[in-house]
Structure 1
């Protein structure tokens, strides 16, 4: 298995602090809409549904509770949005028909004819997957692009939030057929950590936005499908579904039983007509926890053992004028921390997610100078000041916070207000 050596080290146990970045910009006039996307038949929340403003590249997604927050420039507030989700018929809604909040958008499941499965099902799933990756230069963005993205990372001890980081970044996306890696520039960020819940260790996530960016396995196939290990997987056609009214194959892959290396397993969602990967859900097959720990634990105290128990990824792609591009990804890492002198271990989960909220062609292919980029080893620093400002993100689209994250933000804001009042009450010597 190839060592993940360029930003996919998911966490480290460190005691040092690092620099925080926060750059203010002008806030233009915009309108925002809040609501939820649900199944029209049973009201079930649709997680990671995509909302796009038609005629633009502005977009957002629903969170893990089906909620969305969409910000649109005022001059586009009379436009329309399209809402899409795997297995459902795409719906178009006029922005004029939406309220400022409490909107409910219902999607209808797509009808899939049995004949489509029987007639179109590929006989050789392996050949289909190989074709998808070989044709990426034809079907995915073939020109440089400048993307705006929202990034969020959380650390939980069991079910309690202990750290929350958010950032807006610029991604200088190189063409998919190019071997040049993408560059990331940090525009604005905020973070808060409750160290009282961290077992006396300072737990930090290393890599920041690169953790999610490198989940783009079309751009970075060697993360999962190295050329020399492609045939170490078994590929099977599972089922068919639909997205944007297009037929989608679902191909499962898993490492062969005779392979002892720690590879991956998951599902690939492939557009039938275009032979493109539209989504992928995959996880590391942890067959050796010691080896997995070496891959993902960058630094730790000597008397602590850290065992990854789940390492999972998701990436979704979007289509614009026949070209596909990276749209959203998330990474989940769950692990146990076992102290030599403690009876019980601690269970932590770390989640990182990033959504592209707008983009344009980078015609000149310009990229920031190395000193202006963030490194793949970045650790977003502790800086809670941004949480005191309800308008911190301005016009930038973000992923609507889940209820637990909303509660964490409100708690941080209360703590800051108390600190400010205490500081104001302290006489100056």
Structure 2
């Protein structure tokens, strides 16, 4: 059976020094704001909690914790007396007054105990596959059906083994289409910076084609065709895992994997479905890369003839946030790992590409289709080098970003030192 390249937009171009795409800048009106920062941990064992949501109550202003559990949230002064709502899957929700933040604050979340009462046991569907189908069919009622303009922060890193070789960051505007129509989302570039160490790439420029579009396409509710189509839904096995909860609401956990007789690379992972509404709240999944040849065909667009390239890992994460009774795309993360073998060379190279995008604010707009302007990105865009922004400590201004993890902080510090020398 021939399968289409699901996620064919997650492509890696291996080529010599070729600079593609665009990088545009627009002026921003800097308003006064205050910054609150800290770290979020599990109260029972002090483990740092990754991808935790922080939202200013009554607004759409938000951020997420990084891989070290750290966060920085820029709060407009008009909300300085407000409250931050902190949620994490499987933990009790916590609300903290913004005025109580002093310096870097350590916040402890309590693991939530999930109990299935008799009503829940009766209400839960007996067939996990049918539950998934019901979830995909409910997007018109459960998800935002207005044209929405989202502000988001995007970060993309490329590492050769454990050393950073390229770092890109951008603030974008996502022109999010209603979940009930088939128009694809558009992305507008607001501000960006990038630095690439081509020496570390050994004259091989490893580029993630698609940039922010790759992350927006992980929105399984808007783009279910990239994983679960009517044609291939039967190629998967579905089963229930232990339930969990978020914000004191029961969440079903559904495992899925490809049937053993399917040879083409498909996906496996977990879907987290709100028990009361059947809305998809989170998804964590990976591509089966056991078949190197077929998996390589899904990702590699261009490479030198003397090089063999194949993925060793491809993992995805997407999470949604609810506001005013409607769910919307909030965050996604993509991690791709590739092995590069040069013919005639004894050692191979391992590259890791990681991209993440977090929605930090949004508003309903009457604009049906985004205007085609110079700063509009295309799905084939690769952000160009623009290192100057790393020397400006106020580069992002009032825009919320994902706090950089330690390795990225070190990379930014090194870029700053290099810029000072030049």
Do they superpose with TM above 0.5?
yes
Which residue in the other structure is 2:106 paired with? Answer: 104
Structure 2: 5+ residue runs without aligned partners?
Answer: none
**Does the 8 Å contact 1:14/1:299 carry over to 2?**
no
1:244 aligns with 2:253: no
Name which of 167, 181, 185 aligns with 1:182. Answer: 185
Cα RMSD (Å) of the superposition? 1.4
Which residue in the other structure is 1:416 paired with? Answer: 419
**Could you tell me how far apart the structure 2 residues matched to 1:226 and 1:371 are?**
34
Which residue in the other structure is 2:83 paired with? Answer: 80
**Does the 8 Å contact 1:10/1:211 carry over to 2?**
no
Residues 187 and 6 (structure 1), Cα distance of their counterparts in 2 relative to 1, 3 Å cut: farther
**Does the 8 Å contact 2:335/2:355 carry over to 1?**
yes
Name which of 241, 255, 258 aligns with 2:258. Answer: 255
* 1:293-333 Cα shifts (integer Å, max 9, x gaps): 12111111111111101111000000011100000001110
Q: Aligned-pair distance for 1:35?
A: 0.5
Which residue in the other structure is 2:196 paired with? Answer: 193
| Alignment of structure 1 residues 158-169 onto 2, 5 Å | 158-169=161-172
**Could you tell me how far apart the structure 2 residues matched to 1:30 and 1:269 are?**
35
* 1:4-30 Cα shifts (integer Å, max 9, x gaps): 476322444342123432333221111
Which residue in the other structure is 2:56 paired with? Answer: 53
**Does the 8 Å contact 1:336/1:348 carry over to 2?**
yes
**Could you tell me how far apart the structure 1 residues matched to 2:305 and 2:276 are?**
54
Q: Aligned-pair distance for 1:179?
A: 0.3
Name which of 337, 344, 353 aligns with 1:350. Answer: 353
Name which of 147, 151, 160 aligns with 1:148. Answer: 151
1:29 aligns with 2:29: no
**Could you tell me how far apart the structure 1 residues matched to 2:285 and 2:316 are?**
5
Which residue in the other structure is 1:273 paired with? Answer: 276
Which residue in the other structure is 2:319 paired with? Answer: 316
**Could you tell me how far apart the structure 1 residues matched to 2:54 and 2:357 are?**
15
| Alignment of structure 1 residues 350-429 onto 2, 5 Å | 350-369=353-372, 372-419=375-422
Q: Aligned-pair distance for 1:96?
A: 0.4
**Could you tell me how far apart the structure 2 residues matched to 1:366 and 1:338 are?**
44
Name which of 39, 43, 51 aligns with 1:40. Answer: 43
1:91 aligns with 2:94: yes
**Could you tell me how far apart the structure 2 residues matched to 1:351 and 1:218 are?**
22
Q: Aligned-pair distance for 1:418?
A: 1.1
Q: Aligned-pair distance for 1:388?
A: 0.3
**Does the 8 Å contact 2:17/2:203 carry over to 1?**
no
Which residue in the other structure is 1:222 paired with? Answer: 225
SS at match of 2:231: helix
Structure 1: 5+ residue runs without aligned partners?
Answer: 420-429
Which residue in the other structure is 2:19 paired with? Answer: 17
* 1:116-160 Cα shifts (integer Å, max 9, x gaps): 674554311011000000111110001110000000000011111
**Does the 8 Å contact 1:50/1:83 carry over to 2?**
yes
Which residue in the other structure is 1:425 paired with? Answer: none
* 1:47-66 Cα shifts (integer Å, max 9, x gaps): 00000001100000000110
SS at match of 2:11: coil
SS at match of 1:415: helix
**Could you tell me how far apart the structure 2 residues matched to 1:83 and 1:183 are?**
29
* 1:321-378 Cα shifts (integer Å, max 9, x gaps): 1100000001110010100121010111000100000000012324122654211000
Which residue in the other structure is 2:211 paired with? Answer: 208
Residues 11 and 312 (structure 1), Cα distance of their counterparts in 2 relative to 1, 3 Å cut: farther
SS at match of 1:295: helix
SS at match of 2:301: coil
User: Which range is displaced more, 230-239 or 13-22?
Assistant: 13-22
**Does the 8 Å contact 1:22/1:190 carry over to 2?**
no
**Does the 8 Å contact 1:152/1:164 carry over to 2?**
yes
SS at match of 1:34: strand
* 1:252-293 Cα shifts (integer Å, max 9, x gaps): 000111112211111000000010000001111123211211
Residues 2 and 371 (structure 1), Cα distance of their counterparts in 2 relative to 1, 3 Å cut: farther
Which residue in the other structure is 1:113 paired with? Answer: 115
* 1:229-263 Cα shifts (integer Å, max 9, x gaps): 11110100011101011100000000111112211
**Could you tell me how far apart the structure 2 residues matched to 1:188 and 1:338 are?**
36
- After TM superposition, the score normalised by the length of structure 2 is 0.96
**Could you tell me how far apart the structure 2 residues matched to 1:332 and 1:242 are?**
26
User: Which range is displaced more, 7-16 or 376-385?
Assistant: 7-16
SS at match of 2:309: strand
**Does the 8 Å contact 1:155/1:161 carry over to 2?**
yes
